[in-house]
C-alpha cells in the first residue's frame, strides 16, 4: 500500500533521506522510530506529496504523489502531532465539514456512528473543540479518516503529550484500523508505544533506515537497547 524506493531528499547541505526503502502493507502498523531530524517527517511528507524527492520515488497504492498528489492524498488520511480542527465548532460539526471537504456528505446518524467507532464519548459530540483534550481531538481525526475510507493512515508523533490512558486507547484504535485493512505508518520516538502497537519497527538516524524488525520478536526493553545502540 505504501512503498518508498531508494528515496533521497536534500535540503541545502542537509541530507534528510538517503536511499530509503520502506514498505507498509494493508493491515499493517509500521512504527518508524528515530530522534528529531532522523527523516521521519520528511518521509511522511513525501507520501503526502508535500515534499518532492530528489531521487527515488514513493507510491500510495500504485499512485506516485510527485506525479498525482491529489490522487495520492485521496487514498490517505493524516494525523499530525497537533490535530488542526476548528475550535469554535463541535466535534460533530468538524467531522461534517472535513468529510464534505473530502467529497462525502454524511448524515447525523453516520457521524455519530463514526465518532463512536473512533472512541469519542457521546457527551462530547456536540461540545466545542476548544474544550477538548488532545486525545479527544485525535479521536475526531480518526473519525475523519474513517469517513474518508482512507486506505493508508500517516501519523507524525501521535502519542506525544498524551497521558498513558489516552495513549493506550489510541494504540487500540490503530490496531482496529489495521484489522480493517488500513496501512498505518506511524513516525514516533515513543519506543514503548511502538513496540506495543506495531507489526514492524524501523529505526532511522540521519535519513538512513538503520534497522528493521518484527515487533513481536523483541521486547520493549530489548528494543530500547537496540535503539540506543543505533543512536550511539
Q: What is the full DSSP assignment across 97-164?
A: HHHHHTT----HHHHHHHHHHTT--GGGTTSBGGG--HHHHHHHHHHHHHHHT-SEEEEESTTTT--H
Q: Would you place residue 89 in the very low, low, confident or very high pLDDT band (cuts 50, 70, 90)?
A: very high
**End-to-end CA gap in the chain:** 33
**pLDDT at 51 (0 to 100):** 93
Examine the pLDDT at 102 and tell me if it is beyond 80: no
Examine the pLDDT at 68 and tell me if it is beyond 80: yes
Do the beta carbons of residue 78 and residue 48 sit within 8 Å? yes
- pLDDT tens digits, one per residue of 186-223: 999 888 888 989 999 999 999 999 999 999 999 989 99
What is the mean pLDDT of the segment spanning 46-52?
94
Stronger pLDDT, 148 or 50, i.e. the higher one: 50
Domain ranges (residues) in the chain: 2-75+151-231, 87-149
Mean residue pLDDT across the chain = 91
DSSP state of 218: S
Do the beta carbons of residue 72 and residue 60 sit within 8 Å? yes
**pLDDT at 162 (0 to 100):** 78
Q: What angle do CA 167, 171, 173 make, to 5 degrees?
A: 115
From the CB of residue 116, how many other CB atoms can be counted at a distance below 10 Å? 14
**pLDDT at 167 (0 to 100):** 83
From CA 167, how far away is CA 23, in angstroms rounded?
25
Domain covering 2-75+151-231, topology: Rossmann fold (3.40.50)
pTM of the model: 0.90
From CA 22, how far away is CA 4, in angstroms rounded?
5
Do the beta carbons of residue 165 and residue 140 sit within 8 Å? no
**pLDDT at 146 (0 to 100):** 86
Examine the pLDDT at 161 and tell me if it is beyond 80: no
**pLDDT at 8 (0 to 100):** 96
From CA 76, how far away is CA 45, in angstroms rounded?
12
What is the mean pLDDT of the segment spanning 87-91?
96
**What count of residues does the chain have?**
232
Amino acid at each position: 500500500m505504501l512503498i518508498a524506493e531508494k528515496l533521497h531528499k536534500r535540503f541545502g547541505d542537509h541530507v534528510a533521506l538517503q536511499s530509503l526503502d520502506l514498505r507498509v502493507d494493508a493491515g499493517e502498523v509500521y512504527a518508524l522510530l528515530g530522534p528529531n531530524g532522523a527523516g521521519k517527517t520528511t518521509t511522511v511528507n513525501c507520501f503526502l506529496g508535500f515534499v518532492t524527492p530528489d531521487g527515488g520515488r514513493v507510491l500510495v497504492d500504485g499512485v506516485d504523489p510527485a506525479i498525482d498528489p491529489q490522487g495520492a492524498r485521496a487514498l490517505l488520511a493524516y494525523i499530525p502531532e497537533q490535530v488542526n480542527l476548528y475550535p469554535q465548532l463541535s466535534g460533530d460539526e468538524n467531522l461534517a465539514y472535513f468529510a464534505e471537504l473530502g467529497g462525502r456528505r454524511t448524515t447525523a446518524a453516520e457521524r455519530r456512528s463514526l465518532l463512536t467507532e473512533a472512541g469519542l464519548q457521546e457527551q462530547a459530540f456536540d461540545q466545542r473543540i476548544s474544550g477538548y483534550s488532545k486525545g479527544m481531538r485525535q479521536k475526531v481525526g480518526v473519525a475523519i479518516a474513517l469517513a474518508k475510507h482512507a486506505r493508508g493512515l500517516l501519523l507524525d508523533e501521535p502519542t506525544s503529550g498524551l497521558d498513558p490512558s489516552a495513549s493506550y486507547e489510541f494504540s487500540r484504535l490503530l490496531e482496529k484500523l489495521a484489522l480493517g485493512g488500513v496501512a498505518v505508518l506511524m513516525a514516533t520516538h515513543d519506543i514503548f508505544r511502538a513496540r506495543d502497537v506495531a507489526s514492524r519497527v524501523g529505526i532511522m538516524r540521519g535519513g538512513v533506515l538503520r534497522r528493521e524488525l518484527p515487533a513481536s520478536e523483541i521486547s520493549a526493553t530489548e528494543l530500547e537497547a537496540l535503539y540506543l545502540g543505533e543512536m550511539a
